[in-house]
Amino acid sequence: MSIKDIAKLAGVSASTVSRVVNQRQYVKPEIRERILALVKQTGYVPNNAARSMVLKRTFTVGIVIPDTFNMFQRELFSIIEHHLEGFGYRTSFFFVKWEPESEMKCLRKLKGEKLDGIIMIHEVSHPEFYEYLTASSLPVVLCTFDRPELEFLSIHVNEEEGARAATQHLIELGHRRIGLLSGSYFSFAAQRTVGYKAALEAAGLAFDEGIVERAPSYSAEEGRDGMRSLLSRAKGLTAVFAETDELAIGAIRTLFEAGLSVPGDLSVVGFDDIDICAFLSPGLTTVRQPIHEMGKKTAELMSALIAGELAGVDSTTFGFELIVRESTARPRA
Amino acid sequence: MSIKDIAKLAGVSASTVSRVVNQRQYVKPEIRERILALVKQTGYVPNNAARSMVLKRTFTVGIVIPDTFNMFQRELFSIIEHHLEGFGYRTSFFFVKWEPESEMKCLRKLKGEKLDGIIMIHEVSHPEFYEYLTASSLPVVLCTFDRPELEFLSIHVNEEEGARAATQHLIELGHRRIGLLSGSYFSFAAQRTVGYKAALEAAGLAFDEGIVERAPSYSAEEGRDGMRSLLSRAKGLTAVFAETDELAIGAIRTLFEAGLSVPGDLSVVGFDDIDICAFLSPGLTTVRQPIHEMGKKTAELMSALIAGELAGVDSTTFGFELIVRESTARPRA
DNA sequence: TGAAGTTCTGAAAACGTTTGCAGATAACGT
DNA sequence: ACGTTATCTGCAAACGTTTTCAGAACTTCA
């Protein structure tokens, strides 16, 4: 069912059908109605491929996201998609593994799609990826991370300050020996670690590598394993700061298995405030990123970038919020 | 950077470039190498839109999934995507709300994309949606549900038997008053309810509407609220069967808030075995769907359907597995 | 030497759209 | 009645590919 079929049925040319479908110029009301009726009746929808060929835009923005995306990222892209739709853009997802091979495959796909813009939800490892983005002069927005040395717009929170606040919360409760459950790859891991150290330092506490565990990734499973390792070698811990909620959940599991109570024996803080935090038992104390505002802003920036409305378009650092629930308490006397 | 640019650079016609890129027919080795070098150097990738116009296929299959997709569905589509990629297909996601309007919007998008096939991960409410799928004679696979009255292939587990097994597990532990936390919309809710009733009946226990709570959807939040309602009006409960893990998680949260212990005071069983079940404290007893096999089979079916290899292509009912963790125990004497 | 392949290459058409241009008709003001 | 403008419509080109067809150049073989 193509535009020509509709044209034939309506006894007009394809141009005319195109004009009514796209609401362009003058079309005699009578003919317009006839065509509209035919469109509705046949369920005709223009072929995107053909359309994008002549218009040289796809009205589609690509979202690149790790294939291991967590619930925070999942919610984030739903929000972004929603707002992008409001601006008239479709969304295409690209799930990529933390492997050069996967990233290059993703890059090929991106190129083939001829997208109008690209939103990166989290980083990639291969420099060629960013090089292409720069060279292509495509609209790009980095969401939840930044690469200040590259010239991309970025939407993010101050990771360092967030981690600092989380750690400080534990210190204020009276904790002195606070373990760190860190992640890998992504730059926020390093940034959150910096914040953890800063809080320690501000309180006059020494940073001790012996109570730091660096997990290979960010899953609950790795949080569980990391905490096991930590528990076996770091004695005297009364609290743990996990750099993501998933790591925290895994850590709590290990504590449960070891017969330790949270927050009775150990306090735990996470980061991100994924949905499930509020429904855990105990509820997880964590650092909330303003996910709705961030997603909205990301879509707005992208839309402005595509439209070439560069006034007022700039990177934004959002504030975070420490959400205190039940997984943190004063250390046992 | 189009095929013509490459052709010009190589001093040949576009046809020849096309032939080497697609590895067709004879091309003089010397020229082939020259073109290949140019392709690598320029990073040329064929334009999908143009390609799909002439080939009349997109090598893309659409996956329709509720925008509230849970972790089970999230994992499922990752698996499907992975296998589909192995068959040479791209994947395009369509997140749809349980609202006619959203579904119709999705339908328009599907039509515009000219997909090679469509995988439905969960149901839609608007009959017109299925009507289009039927009328279009597109390859369609329903994954995790079935519509026997329609002629689509389907991959699913026996929901009824799964729920029956979950309930029976509670009965065998000695529970007699087992609440039900049910969901809405999707047909599996009704099927799981039937299984619950069947187990009760088989054990000679009466079905009691008074200890059934029907949540408006399937989120942890709704599980929490549903359990609150159940707790206030259904006295004497010693166990609850929640029709999804998320409902179960919410239910456990309510129990925690009420100062009741799981499984000490109440046993809880879920359904699906989403990733997090094993990391909760206590770990959630649940019914596992063989998600990897189901995803693989779905991709295989789709691939066969598109290729027209209809031999051996048929719906499959997969077995489930009761995973007993720590959220269920004998009732307190 | 010539006929019959085999290997290689390019011109052109096609896919489904949109749009500039030009032509046709209608409406209007004088 | 006539020029001017406003309204309407279709033709044809273009977008970036793939593929059929035909023809050219080279091999092979009698």
Q: How many angstroms separate the CA of A34 from the C1' of D1? A: 37
Name the CATH superfamily for B56-158+291-320: Response regulator (3.40.50.2300)
CB contact under 8 A, A78 and B95: yes
A47 touches chain B (CB under 8 A): yes
**B16 closest-nt by C1' vs CA:** C9
pLDDT value at position A68? Answer: 87
CB contact under 8 A, B279 and A220: yes
Give B-chain residues touching A109 at CB under 8 angstroms: 90
pLDDT value at position B138? Answer: 95
CB contact under 8 A, A45 and B111: yes
Nearest to A81 among B74, B90, B95 (CB): B95
Biggest CA pair distance of chain A: 88
CB contact under 8 A, A47 and B90: no
Domain B56-158+291-320 identical in fold to domain B160-289: yes
| Shortest CA gap A78–chain B (Å) | 7
3-state secondary structure chain A: CCHHHHHHHHCCCHHHHHHHHCCCCCCCHHHHHHHHHHHHHHCCCCCHHHHHHHHCCCCEEEEEEECCCCHHHHHHHHHHHHHHHHCCCEEEEEEECCCHHHHHHHHHHHHHHCCCEEEEECCCCCHHHHHHHHHHCCCEEEECCCCCCCCCEEEEECHHHHHHHHHHHHHHHCCCCEEEEECCCCHHHHHHHHHHHHHHHHCCCCCCHHHEEECCCCCHHHHHHHHHHHHHHCCCCCEEEECCHHHHHHHHHHHHHCCCCCCCCCEEECCECCHHHHHCCCCCEEEECCHHHHHHHHHHHHHHHHHCCCCCCCCEEECCEEECCCCCCCCCC
Give the pLDDT band of residue B113 (cuts 50, 70, 90).
very high
pLDDT value at position B312? Answer: 83
Q: Which residues of A9-28 are buried (b: 16+ CB within 10 A; e: fewer)?
A: bbebeeebbbbbbeeeeebe
Q: Per the structure block, which two tokens stand in for B154?
A: 């389907």
pLDDT at B311 over 90: no
pLDDT digits (tens, 9 = 90+) for B29-74: 999 999 999 999 999 999 999 999 999 999 999 999 999 898 899 9
pLDDT at B215 over 90: yes
DSSP readout, B82-106? HHHHHTT-EEEEEEE-SSHHHHHHH
Angstrom distance (rounded) from CA A236 to CA A256: 17
CB contact under 8 A, B95 and A114: no
Residues in contact with B128: Cβ distance below 8 Å, sequence separation at least 6, in sequence order = B104, B107
- The set of strand C positions with any atom below 7 Å of a protein CB reads 7-12, 14-20
pLDDT digits (tens, 9 = 90+) for B264-276: 999 999 999 999 9
Per-residue pLDDT of chain A (333 residues; tens, 9 = 90+): 899 999 999 999 999 999 999 998 789 999 999 999 999 999 999 999 999 999 999 999 999 999 989 889 999 999 999 999 999 999 999 999 999 999 999 999 999 999 999 999 989 999 999 999 999 999 999 999 999 999 999 999 999 999 999 999 999 999 999 999 999 989 999 999 999 999 999 999 999 999 999 999 999 999 999 999 999 999 999 999 999 999 999 999 999 999 999 999 999 999 999 999 999 999 999 999 999 999 999 999 999 999 999 888 899 999 999 999 999 999 987
**Which residue's CA lies closest to nucleotide D20 at its C1' atom?**
B15
Q: What is the mean pLDDT of chain B?
A: 95
| Shortest CA gap A92–chain B (Å) | 7
pLDDT value at position A70? Answer: 85
State percent of chain B over pLDDT 90: 94
Cα A204 to chain centroid distance, Å, stands at: 35
CB A233 within 8 A of CB A208: no
Ordered by start, the domain boundaries in chain B are: 3-46, 56-158+291-320, 160-289
Q: The CATH number of A3-46 is which of 3.40.640.10, 3.40.50.10710, 3.10.20.90, 1.10.260.40?
A: 1.10.260.40
| Shortest CA gap B2–chain A (Å) | 11
Q: How many angstroms separate the CA of A5 from the C1' of C20? A: 23
pLDDT value at position A304? Answer: 96
Please choose, from the candidates A134, A116, A99, the residue with its C-alpha nearest in 3D space to the C-alpha of residue A63: A116
Q: Please, which residues bridge with residue B155 across strands?
A: B143, B316
pLDDT digits (tens, 9 = 90+) for B119-132: 999 899 999 999 99
State percent of chain B over pLDDT 70: 100
Task: Mutation target for B interface from A2, A281, A284: give the one with most B CBs within 10 A.
Answer: A281
Collapsing DSSP to helix, strand or coil, B278 comes out as helix
Strand order in the sheet with B212-214: B212-214, B178-182, B239-242, B267-269
Task: Mutation target for B interface from A279, A325, A326, A327: give the one with most B CBs within 10 A.
Answer: A279
Footprint of strand C on the protein (CB under 7 A): A 2-4, 14-15, 18-19, 21-22, 24, 44, 46-47, 50-51, 53-55; B 11-16, 19, 25-29, 31, 50, 53-54, 56
Fold of the domain spanning A159-289: Rossmann fold (3.40.50)
Please choose, from the candidates A20, A55, A19, the residue with its C-alpha nearest in 3D space to the C-alpha of residue A306: A55
Nearest to A47 among B67, B74, B112 (CB): B112
Name the CATH superfamily for B160-289: Response regulator (3.40.50.2300)
Structurally, at CATH architecture level, domain A57-158+291-318 sits in 3-Layer(aba) Sandwich (3.40)
Distances (CA, A) of B166 to A210, A219, B243, B313: 45, 28, 10, 31
Around B15, how many Cα atoms within 13 Å sit in the side-chain half-sphere? Answer: 3
| Shortest CA gap B203–chain A (Å) | 33
Q: How many angstroms separate the CA of A30 from the C1' of C29? A: 27
What amino acid is encoded at A298 in this protein? T
CB contact under 8 A, B45 and A112: yes
**Which residue's CA lies closest to nucleotide C13 at its C1' atom?**
B54
pLDDT value at position B25? Answer: 79
Q: Per the structure block, which two tokens stand in for B73?
A: 């569905």
Nearest chain A residue to B275 by CA distance is A220
**B112 closest-nt by C1' vs CA:** C16
